[in-house]
Structure 1
Amino acid sequence: MKFEWYLALRYFKGSRKSSGFLSFIKYMSIAGIAVGSAGLLIALSIVHGFKSTINGKIMDFAPHISISTYTQKPLERADTLFTYLDRYPEIESKQVVIEGQVMIQTKDQVTGTSLKGVDIEKPEFGVGNYITEGEYDLKRDSTGMPGIVLGKQLAQQLQAEIGSVITVYTIEGIPSLVNSPEIKQFRLTGIYETGIDLFDDVFAMVDRNYARQLFKYRDNQADAIEIRLKDDTEILAFHDKLNESIIFPYYNQSIYTVFGNIFAWVELQENMIPLVISGMIIVAAFNLIGAILMMVLERTRDIGVLKTIGSKSKMIRRIFLVEGLMVAGVGLIIGISISLLFYFLQVNYQIIPLSQENYYMAYAPVEPHAIDFVIVTLVTIVLSALASWFPARVAANTDPVKVISFGR
């Protein structure tokens, strides 16, 4: 072991009986770096978890691209457009959708909602991964009644349970004797919950054929064609590509356009929170200046002796620089350990619950990234080295003649 490392380690341990206050300052510096690094790593893991969870729910539930018309009228020749899309290898799956506003009723409650007619065999579009009660089944049951799937909040508003009879009716214009509503009854087979009100409180899903009957659409009419891509990172590029071939009155919207406000909110959280929390590390690093200066004052006579026996200023500077890095290293190890402990507790015991109505999830998600640990470690070490350099320079420039008699 090099002499300066050996001496720095001895100073770091603080074996002198008279160095109690100095040890307290040192421990506070370690605690400051530990809390700062742990706070930043925990904040980063939470915002990454928020982003992944919310983005994942939207990507799972909503189509990556939807094609519809600028007018209020339905798509004509939707079957032809559907076949035309076969030329794009980027598309993983697609479906024709019929959607409109309806009144939906149980024996106890009634409310308005959006009825969505979808492919009967494609639960991957929307709710397949989020069924919490029953199952995704839109087929007819043994009584001949077709199935319907509702969001959890919508089901609660209707006081509906699995097996409840749901009556759906729609009407155009003003009701009259000659303009009666189209009515259809369904059996509630599944309830889904994403945690996002925009999804759970809005949609009722049925077989597209029954939606076509309710809205009086012809076989080749639809409201939209929903597309899912093989690679969701190519959504914007494919959106631009599709714009070049889809002509008026058709137009396509990407998921980033439809849910732009949610994506923007998530990005804001991810960008701003780490900047705010990182101030804790900066403050802790600057506190290290005071701690090392106190160590220099405590070791003033040692510095004089070292210089008298021929030690160079460079070596003395390294001693206190290494001691500052030891303080930072111990604090960093403790901070990383705290963040990993938090990750374990949050994943297994959900120690931080959230309001699902406001945050779209029942507890704070955590997703630590290895790159965050690398960056936080490097930044902490660099800041601590810079903070230790000034007091180390003061120690190196100390006049040995004056310090030997210091305190007499």
Structure 2
Amino acid sequence: MNYELFIAKRIVAAKEYKSSISSPIIKIAIVAISLGVIIMMIAMATGIGLQQKIREKIAGFNGHIQITNFDNNYSEITLEPVSINQDFYPNFSNISNVKKVQVYATKGGIIRTATDFEGIILKGISKDYDWSFFEEYLVEGNLPDYTKDTSFDVLISKEISNRMHIGVGDEFNILFVKEDPSKTPWLRVVKAVGIYNSGFQDFDENFVIADIRHIQKMNRWKENEVGGFEVLLNDFDEIEEKSNEIYTQTASTLNSQSIIEKYPAIFEWIGLFDNNIYLIIAIMIIVAGINMITALLVLILERTQMIGILKALGSSNVSIRKVFLYNAGYLILKGLFWGNIIGLFLLFAQKYGGFITLDPNTYYVTTVPIYINLKYLVALNLGTLVLCLSMLIIPSIIISKINPAKSIKFE
């Protein structure tokens, strides 16, 4: 029988334990652990959630990896065509983790209405396009259908809709300047069949989604020529590795570029979130550990007579230390329990309620995104429990300094 655990349970269950001098300090320690866990959960869920949401949005507009011609073009506009007759299209058969390969082309244009005009990037896509991203952010209308004849239906953003006063079902003009500015620009009369709102203003204010065949015709490309390929991955964590693999397995005339390479400033910024998460977790564990050390010392000093009796009965210092560590473990688990209950309630409320909003111009999202992962939560709780208990081992050495002869008192 584990008599140390038995004694610890009796101490916890005793009535005088709940009304002792140490009771307020114990409650403060439990509250500190609960608050620490809540803050750590929020920091982890929001930090990782924001990282993932920004990655998803950038990938939604660009794919994870883009394959284009080797040239000095660093703009969003594709200039030189690429033949779709590639070994890797429509699928990379010898590279794992590739979800889809789809074609695209982009061209700069100007939306012109009776009262306004606005520069945009027309992104042409084909029937192989993965619409899952825009399905999530579609707020009005329907997605265009490019599986049949050349379609004049387009998908515009809420940002463009508001600024240009274009609604679902409205037709409007897009002008495209020719290589020779002296010639009359191309004019396309298109119809807005859907409106999306990703909250990523840098993209929303620029991109209009259309049939790629318009760009092929204006650029005088053949039917089998496109601006490039977008590669979608199943696992973002492998993006750099897969980008290198794709680079080595494509023709020497082609270049592959991941979105991390294309938008380094954004990914460096969201990479700093990891440091913030680690710092918050470290601070919260230290604060919780200090509170538990205080509570443990008060418990030991309050029960010096019991410690003296146990020593007189032959208990070793190690066994008595286990009693108090079990006791402290109970307090930590109690704090973790309430911290998880309250923390999960707040996280799910934000996840499905979205009551905390953000400025999309700064954070690229309109509400605080939440990422909840069971493995991360288990690791966070186990790590907190182990580290807090480890911090209590050294303070518990004070038990060995207690003299049974002086501590046992008979009234």
Query: Shorter-chain TM-score: which interval?
Result: 0.7 to 0.9
- 8 Å Cα contact 2:17/2:23 also seen in 1: no
Structure 2 counterparts to residues 12-23 of structure 1, below 5 A: 12=12, 15-16=15-16, 20-23=20-23
Shift of 1:187: 1.2
- For 1:312, the aligned partner's letter is S
Match of 1:106 in 2: 113
Match of 2:187 in 1: 183
Tell me the matched-pair count.
402
The alpha-carbon distance between structure 1 residues 278 and 46, as it changes in their structure 2 partners (threshold 3 A), is same
Match of 2:43 in 1: 43
Match of 2:62 in 1: 62
- 8 Å Cα contact 1:320/1:388 also seen in 2: no
1:52 is aligned to 2:52: yes
- 8 Å Cα contact 1:166/1:185 also seen in 2: yes
Structure 2 counterparts to residues 6-405 of structure 1, below 5 A: 6-12=6-12, 15-16=15-16, 20-69=20-69, 70-71=71-72, 74-76=79-81, 78-79=82-83, 81-82=85-86, 85=89, 88-89=92-93, 90=95, 93-120=100-127, 122=129, 124=131, 127-137=134-144, 146-172=152-178, 175-176=181-182, 179-217=183-221, 219=223, 221-228=225-232, 235-247=239-251, 249-404=253-408
Between 81-90 and 114-123, report the one with greater CA deviation. 81-90
3-state secondary structure, aligned to 2:255:
strand
- 8 Å Cα contact 2:91/2:101 also seen in 1: no
- 8 Å Cα contact 1:154/1:200 also seen in 2: yes
3-state secondary structure, aligned to 2:83:
helix
CA distance in 2, matches of 1:125, 1:331: 41
Q: Give CA deviations for 1:129-181 in whole Å, capped at 9, x if unaligned.
A: 4322111226699xx982121122122221111122221112246754xx222
Taking structure 1 as the reference length, the TM-score comes to: 0.85
The alpha-carbon distance between structure 1 residues 17 and 98, as it changes in their structure 2 partners (threshold 3 A), is closer
3-state secondary structure, aligned to 2:167:
coil
Between 38-47 and 221-230, report the one with greater CA deviation. 221-230
Taking structure 2 as the reference length, the TM-score comes to: 0.85
Shift of 1:288: 1.6
Shift of 1:110: 0.7
The alpha-carbon distance between structure 1 residues 74 and 320, as it changes in their structure 2 partners (threshold 3 A), is closer
- For 2:300, the aligned partner's letter is V
Q: Identity of counterpart residues, as a percentage?
A: 26
Q: Give CA deviations for 1:357-390 in whole Å, capped at 9, x if unaligned.
A: 3323332222222222332232222233233333
Gaps of 5+ in 2: none
- For 1:59, the aligned partner's letter is A
CA distance in 2, matches of 1:318, 1:212: 76
- 8 Å Cα contact 1:138/1:189 also seen in 2: no
Shift of 1:345: 2.0
Shift of 1:229: 5.1
RMSD: 3.3
Shift of 1:352: 2.5
The alpha-carbon distance between structure 1 residues 331 and 230, as it changes in their structure 2 partners (threshold 3 A), is closer
Q: Give CA deviations for 1:295-324 in whole Å, capped at 9, x if unaligned.
A: 222122232333334443333222222222
In our comparison, the structure showing a higher alpha carbon Rg is 1
The alpha-carbon distance between structure 1 residues 381 and 122, as it changes in their structure 2 partners (threshold 3 A), is closer
- For 2:64, the aligned partner's letter is H
Q: Give CA deviations for 1:225-257 in whole Å, capped at 9, x if unaligned.
A: 334456666544443334335445432222332
Gaps of 5+ in 1: none
